[in-house]
Structures are given as structure tokens and as C-alpha cells.
Amino acid sequence: MKMKFGAIVVDGRGKIGGHVASKNRGGAYLRTKVTPSNPKTSLQAAVRNRLTSLSPGWRGLTASERESWNNAVANFAGTNIFADKVNPSGINLYTKLNANLLEIGKPTINTAPLPSEVEPVLTVSATAAAGVPAFSVVFTPTPVPAGTKFIIRATGQVSAGISNLKSKFRNVVVLDSADTSPENLLAAYTAKFGTLVAGQKIGVEIVPVNSVTGQKGQAVSTSLIVAA
């Protein structure tokens, strides 16, 4: 449980007893803790394996390599759930950037990099159809900038009335530098999620990743209704 104190407690996040503190557009709230199902999907296994493989990697670094990560943390400061600026630990920075590199098929790095620009995704749009199956994603900039990879993520098909897709995105393909728009996503999508169904909703987002440092940029997303 994380709490932020003022004259009294002014905000909170996390678990306490059988409850969870969080916040949405309506303000802070407390809800009963629910244990989610753990389907143990191949995606979950892949993520866990990446993280597990990095623990011995950290232990195998030289003293100077570990020092480079510990000294670099201020360069990669982020914000916590209260929007306060915080530094990661050296091991957390090592794990985060290298997990991102493994996610896009790049080798891990032993020495902390200098922060570099992550080329942003500017626009994303997508169309799909069930009758004559088709699924295309259009993006800019095109081609994918040098030193960058784009992770195209999508959701499974859901009811058109569902608006919150945030937790449903899964990686579908990774585009290399110089790959161009549009991207035909049909084969990769149907292999992961099944046949397209008219009237269903799909979310699509693209996440840019610096292929040298492992830094991720802001995801840009859109959604579509599968045409007949």
C-alpha cells in the first residue's frame, strides 16, 4: 500500500487488507480486492522468462558495469502513481531497458546507455473486414525511422460498446527500421486472436522503441469496428 500524506492522507494506491486504493476521473476510491484469474498464457510465460533471464545477467555484470547503471538512474527518472518524480534503482533500470530490447528481438546491453530520443509515432489508423478478410494498419512516420522499431499491439475482438481497452492489448508484430506503411496485419492477427467477426471492436496501438537504448516512447492508439 502506498500513501501520500498531507494534513491527512490525501491519496493512496495499492492493497491494504482486503481492499485496494486507487483513483479515476471521479476521484480517489477504495474497492474490495479481487484476485484475477491467471490463465498462464504463452505471452505471460514469454514476459516472465525475459524478466527471469535478466536476474542472473545483472549478477554477472562487472563492478564497473553495475556502477554505470547505478550512476545513470537520474538520467532516466520517471513519475510514480502520484505523478512525483522518482529515480529507478540501477537493477530496475537494467531490467527495464533490457526487457524492452528483448521484446523487439535485440541483444541485451551490459553498460547503461545515455538517454536518446525515441522517434514518436505520429498517427495510427486501421481498417478490418470479415467478408473478404482484411486487416490493415496505416501509420506515420513512414518508413519506420532509423534506430527505431515499432511494436504493433492489438486487442481481441470485443463488443462495440466496450470503451476501456487498456488492459487488453497484446503484441502482434514488431516492425523494423525502414518498414513502410500500411502494414497488412491479417495473418498475424488471426493467428493470435482468430477469425474476424463483423460488428466487433478491435483496439490497435503502436509503441515506438529505441533499438539501441531500449527506451520506449508514447503509445498511440486507435480502434475500429470490423466491417461486414
Please give the single-letter amino acid code of residue 208. P
Model pLDDT, residue 192? 97
Prediction pTM value? 0.79
| pLDDT on residue 55 | 84
* pLDDT given for residue 53 in this prediction: 78
**What does the pLDDT profile of the chain (228 residues) look like in tens digits?**
565 655 555 566 666 666 777 665 556 666 776 655 555 555 566 666 777 779 899 999 999 999 999 999 999 988 777 777 788 999 999 999 999 999 999 999 999 999 999 999 999 999 999 999 999 999 999 999 999 999 999 999 999 999 899 899 999 999 999 999 999 999 999 999 999 999 999 999 999 999 999 999 999 999 999 999
Task: Identify the structural domains of the chain with CATH numbers, from first to last.
Answer: 2-32 (no CATH), 42-103 (no CATH), 123-225 (2.60.40.10)
Question: Counting runs of H as helices and runs of E as strands, what totals does the chain give?
Answer: 4, 13
Q: Residue 50 in contact with residue 102, Cβ under 8 Å?
A: yes
Classify each residue of 28-50 as buried b or exposed e, where b means 16 or more C-beta atoms within 10 Å of its C-beta.
Answer: eeeeeeeeeeeeeeeeeeeeeeb
d(CA 79, CA 96): 15
Start-to-end C-alpha separation, the chain: 47
CA distance 90 to 102: 18
DSSP 222: E
What pLDDT is attached to residue 30? Answer: 67
Per-residue pLDDT, 9:
56
> How many beta carbons lie within 10 A of that of residue 8, not counting itself?
5
Residue given cell 522499431 in the structure block: 149
- The residue whose grid cell reads 522518482 is 86
Tell me the one-letter amino acid at 57. Answer: G
Cβ neighbours around 117 below 10 Å, total? 12
Q: What is the rounded CA–CA span in Å between residue 48 and residue 52?
A: 6
Per DSSP, the three-state class of 82 is coil
Q: Under a CB-based contact definition with an 8 Å cutoff, are residues 46 and 105 in contact?
A: no
User: Which of 131, 128, 150 is CA-nearest to residue 141?
Assistant: 150
Residue with C-alpha cell 539501441? 212
